[in-house]
């Protein structure tokens, strides 16, 4: 999957009638394996169709965009490597 820019997306409660809606931004979460000493870590944010992954040391870099099924396949592998 190609790298994607994080984007705002409208609330699922929005309609196409032009009514007021809420746009939701990405909520970045740092890995639970990250320490408080500036360790190498990643941050993850989910949007409806993409899991965004970025380096927490330089959040200005373009995040990697993964399809949710690719992320779901990666997580057990990463957990096994960390254990």
Write out pLDDT tens, residues 20-66.
666 556 788 887 666 666 566 788 888 888 898 988 888 788 889 99
Per-residue pLDDT at 72? 93
Residues 19 and 5: their CA atoms lie apart, in Å, by 27
Could you tell me the residue ranges of all domains in the chain?
Answer: 9-82
Residues 15 and 17: their CA atoms lie apart, in Å, by 5
Contact 53, 43 (CB under 8 A): yes
Cut 0.85: pTM above it: no
């Amino acid at each position: 999957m190609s790298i994607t820019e994080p984007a705002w997306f409208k609330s699922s409660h929005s309609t196409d009638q032009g009514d007021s809606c809420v746009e939701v931004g990405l909520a970045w979460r740092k890995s639970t394996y990250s320490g408080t000493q500036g360790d190498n870590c990643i941050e993850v944010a989910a949007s409806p169709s993409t899991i965004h992954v970025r380096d927490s040391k330089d959040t200005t870099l373009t995040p990697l965009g993964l399809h949710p099924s690719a992320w779901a396949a990666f997580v057990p592998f990463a957990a096994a490597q960390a254990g």
